[in-house]
Structure 1
């Protein structure tokens, strides 16, 4: 027989949290005042700080910290964290905070310092998920610097990849002007740098150098001037377009730029090593050496083959490429059966899900017809894009060597399990970058 009578479980946690949240920075019932960097003053409650943070609990132990005996505690925080300290403290009261690319790093640093584990992990995951962000709010540079110092290996790696493969976005970010000389110098030496062309890189570097003219010689030496399109060079040299020091430096390099694009490669090779870094292509997305390949209607597409031809020009060497791509895999049919009472039907003898990309060089036409194919080879780099909140970013690069008169293949460009991540608005987007690689020889 039930003698307890009616029962009901009350859940007023939301009301309780609202009440606690309302105590934030209220003088009523507060028993402590935090003064941060001698500028920010906040009324707090010892109990809430001690319960929410092990570090605060230790600091407020009067036997360990003499300052905690009074009603005013002085704290010192990093300047970048100061503006976000109230949000951090409010989180201790409410368990709620709005994360964005502007505050995630500071809140992670504060939660790391004060051992607030849930907030720290949430900030880490937020940064990992938002490395790819539009230029105006992209923080890959500062997040990379912080991740390296804080030992966040995965975040460090993702930021470094994003910076190298989406430099046009990073250049527009608020972090670009604050990039440190060491990482910038390393970045400029990379051949896998994805950027529109070398002239865009020069303009970005000129902007970075504006408050640092003393770094000009060091940084400008990393640019690959023979790779600069002559028409873009001409635009850069417009009167008044550059600071005097940069204009003079560019003028000294301009003769080689025009020579490299007007003379046969064998003539340039008499005075320059074409295998040296200045003559090595980066992953340029300008139309002269690359082609975008948008693939619409992906959802309804069958296992069909797509074909594409493209032309690239590297100095005086014009290359024709032929590509075939199976976005969803192969379906190979060997014969068609018919019956006098039925329509014909195809017999499928082989089928797979491999997104195979095949590439061949179908034409290689140097200005000098005596030029030997032995002096250069070809590579094709495929830039794979993902769409993040309406913006397309390079998230993977795959490269293959393509022999003269032969064919090269990437067996599975995008594995089936990952393919949906590369489709947005029923479209897949690739960029094909054709590269010429000069090889050592007695003469070119």
Structure 2
């Protein structure tokens, strides 16, 4: 095939006939030549156009700030902007200046706009949600993925820098962020002691607070600590004006019977309780009765304990008697071994039943369990496996079902947190021994930068709580 080109320079015309044989791309690549990559220089040129009046064909006003923009860049990055700025059906497509209302993302709009020119952005725990809101609104797909990826890797931060609650609250509203919502709620449940000290707790929406309080799987020091955080929320200036309506909705989900009597008395004397005694009275009276009457007596009078308020959460305070902490020091220096001990857990949450205990035989193989094996000649020996295993046997006959929670501590950003949780419901009336293998992979513990070890120590919290009142 022949191609003709004509180049003109002043009064001179040069006509050159260029003949090329049709070739596929692979054949062309085999010809002597060299690839040149100027993409980085081109990217730098594009970056210089951000907020530059040079060949700008649009001015965007957001709040008190104005930005020079280029329709082409915005349309390429966002199909929403493409419709807004090119479709004749939109008034903005004919305007040289437009105003965008971004009340929650005004402070980061410049970074958002710059991203559409450069593909680069610095995301922080504070800017993640405002940026994700813009990425959602204008459907900037790559930025959506970047924000979510950052958030799912940034749950572990000191309480004052932790914004997981806001992330959960936003993702809960947006059906498209179900994975992020699930990740956030799991972290919240497993690390409530961190969460209630975060700056977002006091400004939490009531619906989000209720969704948390309804969970029996919260890992927290005590119900008393949780209530104190709830009271802090109630007395926040933005919530206190509706305090009675808020109390009506929230108090049924506070588990007063799971508090100690001395803690109940402390609460009873507070001003918010005195001023709203008619709303607190029933809940506190139920709690006092629970602590005053023994389990045997409660069963005789058919005391109803099947409500949410009589269900243990995963309390780690020793006073609740449901949590045992296993601490394996000098982990990396130890040979495979068996950690074993006898432990006790409370039969109920009632103070009058404190002397009643369940007793257990605990066995833990933190470096993998050995199991019997035979050589090819039939000789018996012990085979070392990588199965990190925990076994639990009741000392005595049990006919009850228990919730067994194994919470493994991790460390990141100079703080301890619950990194992984295994939860099981086991009926010891059906099967007497509880055994779980593969609590985690050995390489997660033996790696030089293992997030499960702090000062070469492995910490595991074992929580054993009744699923329902004893039969």
TM-score range, shorter chain: 0.7 to 0.9
Cα distance, 1:66 vs structure 2: 3.4
Residue number among 408, 411, 415 corresponding to 1:387 in the alignment:
411
The corresponding residue for 1:108 is 132
Does 1:300 pair with 2:333? yes
The corresponding residue for 1:166 is 191
Instruction: Output one character per residue of 1:279-311: Cα deviation in whole Å (capped at 9) or x when no partner.
Output: 221111111221222223222332211123333
Instruction: Output one character per residue of 1:98-141: Cα deviation in whole Å (capped at 9) or x when no partner.
Output: 11111112222222333333222211211222234332222323
Count residues with an aligned counterpart: 414
- Per the alignment, do residues 239 and 116 of structure 1 end up closer, same or farther by CA in structure 2, a change over 3 Å counting? closer
Does 1:351 pair with 2:390? no
- Give the RMSD, CA atoms, in angstroms: 3.3
- Per the alignment, do residues 440 and 396 of structure 1 end up closer, same or farther by CA in structure 2, a change over 3 Å counting? closer
Instruction: Output one character per residue of 1:6-54: Cα deviation in whole Å (capped at 9) or x when no partner.
Output: x997766555544543443344553321012x53322223343334334
Q: How does 1:313-352 map to 2 (within 5 A)?
A: 313=346, 314=348, 315=350, 316=353, 317-331=356-370, 348-352=381-385
Residue number among 70, 78, 92 corresponding to 2:116 in the alignment:
92
Structure 1: distance between partners of 2:203 and 2:388: 41
Structure 2: distance between partners of 1:45 and 1:400: 59
The corresponding residue for 2:453 is 424
- Per the alignment, do residues 332 and 92 of structure 1 end up closer, same or farther by CA in structure 2, a change over 3 Å counting? closer
TM-score (normalizing by structure 2): 0.77
The corresponding residue for 2:51 is 25
- Per the alignment, do residues 300 and 246 of structure 1 end up closer, same or farther by CA in structure 2, a change over 3 Å counting? farther
- Per the alignment, do residues 117 and 380 of structure 1 end up closer, same or farther by CA in structure 2, a change over 3 Å counting? closer
Residue number among 260, 272, 287 corresponding to 2:290 in the alignment:
260
Structure 2: distance between partners of 1:267 and 1:139: 46
Cα distance, 1:153 vs structure 2: 2.1
Of structures 1 and 2, the larger Rg is shown by 2
Unaligned runs of 5+ in 1: 1-6, 336-345, 365-372
Cα distance, 1:434 vs structure 2: 2.5
Deviates more, 1:124-133 or 1:269-278: 269-278
- Per the alignment, do residues 246 and 175 of structure 1 end up closer, same or farther by CA in structure 2, a change over 3 Å counting? farther
1:24–1:93 CA contact under 8 A, matched in 2: yes
The corresponding residue for 2:94 is 69
The corresponding residue for 1:4 is none
Structure 2: distance between partners of 1:437 and 1:350: 37
Structure 2: distance between partners of 1:328 and 1:397: 18
Residue number among 308, 321, 335 corresponding to 1:277 in the alignment:
308
2:60–2:67 CA contact under 8 A, matched in 1: yes
1:353–1:416 CA contact under 8 A, matched in 2: yes
- Per the alignment, do residues 334 and 417 of structure 1 end up closer, same or farther by CA in structure 2, a change over 3 Å counting? closer
The corresponding residue for 1:35 is 61
1:32–1:45 CA contact under 8 A, matched in 2: yes
1:198–1:224 CA contact under 8 A, matched in 2: yes
- Per the alignment, do residues 26 and 399 of structure 1 end up closer, same or farther by CA in structure 2, a change over 3 Å counting? same
Structure 2: distance between partners of 1:53 and 1:380: 49
TM-score (normalizing by structure 1): 0.81
Does 1:221 pair with 2:221? no
Structure 1: distance between partners of 2:199 and 2:181: 18
Deviates more, 1:82-91 or 1:247-256: 247-256
Unaligned runs of 5+ in 2: 1-32
Residue number among 246, 250, 263 corresponding to 1:232 in the alignment:
263
Q: Secondary structure at the match of 2:199?
A: coil
Instruction: Output one character per residue of 1:133-186: Cα deviation in whole Å (capped at 9) or x when no partner.
Output: 332222323222332314122112111212222222221223222333333223
